Amino acid sequence: MPAPLEGIRILDFTRFQQGPYATVMLSDMGAEVIKVEEPGQGDLGRALGAEPDGFSDYFEAYNRNKRSITLNLRSEEGRAIVHKLAARVDVVVENFRPGVMDRLGIGYAALSAINPRIIVASASGAGQRGPLARKPSFDVIGQAMSGAMWAQAGGPPNEPQSIAEGFADQVGAMYLAWGVAMALIARERYGVGQHVDSSLLSGQIGFFSRSYVRSLAAGRAHYLVPGRSPLFRAYRCADDRWLALGILDPKVWPRLCRAIEREDLIEDPRFATPHDRHEHLADLYRVLRDVFASRGRDEWLQRLEAHDVACGPVRDFIEVAADPHVIENEYIVTVEHPRRGPMREPGVPVRLSRTPGRVRSTAPELGQHTEEVLRELGYSWEEIEQLRIKGVI
């Protein structure tokens, strides 16, 4: 059975991470994505972390399954090609600063005049309107301006901390892909195209909903300090490996005490109730820290699991990828890279039982599919050569 977005065509003008990962998510579910890049260097993400053979893990992670074409968008011929593509695609995704697409003559107003059912999705730093709309922004700026950096640090007077792996970009990508999916459903139900607007700032505010609700209700900024709860954090074991506890339900507390052979803690007045444990966080942390430091990680995990206490080993990425459970669920899959051969990378994180998505190909070489796409639009080989001579492609 086809993937859910099979037959949906997306024209992708995005660069770096926020926009590209959104279109990866859509491509994983079957959408055909045509990535438009500037002739010459292309998406600057190609150079981030690039190895001597040109391979970039950054670009690979955020551009798999796509076809790449090069177009000079400042040329009349380049814009004409975009207009021809707009008549054939379902979605256009871009993450230029607000106003750039309109100045190039390929914004929502121009493209919807060609194709009224088209969906144009814009990813930005702070949205399409307001005094911050045209401010340059990247992931770290989105984290800073949204409160995420203070949230990660636990608030002042601690030093603000950014969250790894382009957290604002990744969250923004997920919201953007969600917006495109919702717009596609609306088009099927109501027959309308529309503009989708998502930003780093809006995504981070949405992600930290609980902290915003609590802060606004209290009239002051509230921060959930990471690792503050001794029952919801990681501990170092005797073999210098780590495990994590995850206990929220009070009924698990006696099971934990039995698992660690400290039944005396069940009735200890400092820890007898959730309120008592909250009032004596530092004492409880010291007790558990010393207990877990007395034996090896795997022994503790075995005992905790035997008492049905939520726990897990703290692992690195290589350990995770070697886990038979991860492999069985296809959280890590193998794809064929044209230069590197079989290559392992993350699979599709959401499984649909009847219409599953899949990783179809690695990221494209710059301009790899330019001629192929132009031929599909009806350009002759002579016309394609002229476009190359003029620097349009």
> Catalytic residue positions?
169
Cβ contacts of residue 117 below 8 Å, gap of 6+?
90, 187, 191, 192, 193
Residues in the chain: 393
d(CA 366, CA 67): 9
Tokens of 214: 């609590």
What are the structure tokens assigned to 272, written together? 């007898």
Tokens of 113: 């005049």
C-alpha distances (whole Å) from 109 to each of 31, 83, 123, 199 are: 24, 12, 17, 20
